[in-house]
């Protein structure tokens, strides 16, 4: 049963990571002029507005392109961790942990808490379950 829970959580992380890669990459393409989709104009404008509004709070100033690139990079890190877990390869949990740190650093950099903190909390709980399963697997062996 523990194996199936680990697989389910890993697949959920992989899906979430792939979404971040896709969204971040598409928005980056829009921002730098490689793409021009009407449906991406508002998200780019919203991100720009958020970055402008929080400019005085940012520890490290970020452009729209930098922000969406970071989102895509977070997806890459999370996806690598999930794939490594699914393949029973080492360092999978480390990559997922690095994703969580990267996510938390966004809140630190912008010195704000918003509803996206729920995503971070859920991911942290799922990571905790994976750590618990790993510890249970070690003690059983």
Q: In Å, how far from its chain's centre is CA 23?
A: 11
Residue pLDDT, tens place only, 65-103: 999 999 999 999 999 999 999 999 999 999 999 999 999
17-41 tens-digit pLDDT: 999 999 999 999 999 999 999 999 9
Instruction: Count Cβ atoms within 10 A of the Cβ of residue 39 and give its class: 0-12 exposed, 13-18 middle, 19 or more buried.
Output: exposed
Residues 2-17 pLDDT 10s: 999 999 999 999 999 9
pTM higher than the cut 0.85: yes
Confirm if 120 and 101 have CB atoms less than 8 A apart.
no
Give the total number of structural domains in the chain: 1
**b/e burial code for range 66-82 (CB count within 10 A of at least 16 → b):** ebbbbbbebbbbbbbbb
| Residue 6 structural domain | 2-140
């Amino acid at each position: 049963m523990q194996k199936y829970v680990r697989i389910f959580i890993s697949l959920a992380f992989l899906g979430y990571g792939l979404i971040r890669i896709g969204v971040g990459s598409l928005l980056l393409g829009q921002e730098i002029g490689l793409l021009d989709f009407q449906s991406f104009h508002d998200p780019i404008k919203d991100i720009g507005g958020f970055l402008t509004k929080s400019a005085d709070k940012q520890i490290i100033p970020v452009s729209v392109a930098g922000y969406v690139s970071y989102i895509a990079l977070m997806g890459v890190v999370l996806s690598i961790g999930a794939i490594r877990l699914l393949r029973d390869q080492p360092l999978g949990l480390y990559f997922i942990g690095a994703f969580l740190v990267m996510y938390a650093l966004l809140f630190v950099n912008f010195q704000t808490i918003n509803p996206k903190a729920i995503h971070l909390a859920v991911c942290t709980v799922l990571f905790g379950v994976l750590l618990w399963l790993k510890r249970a697997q070690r003690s059983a062996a």
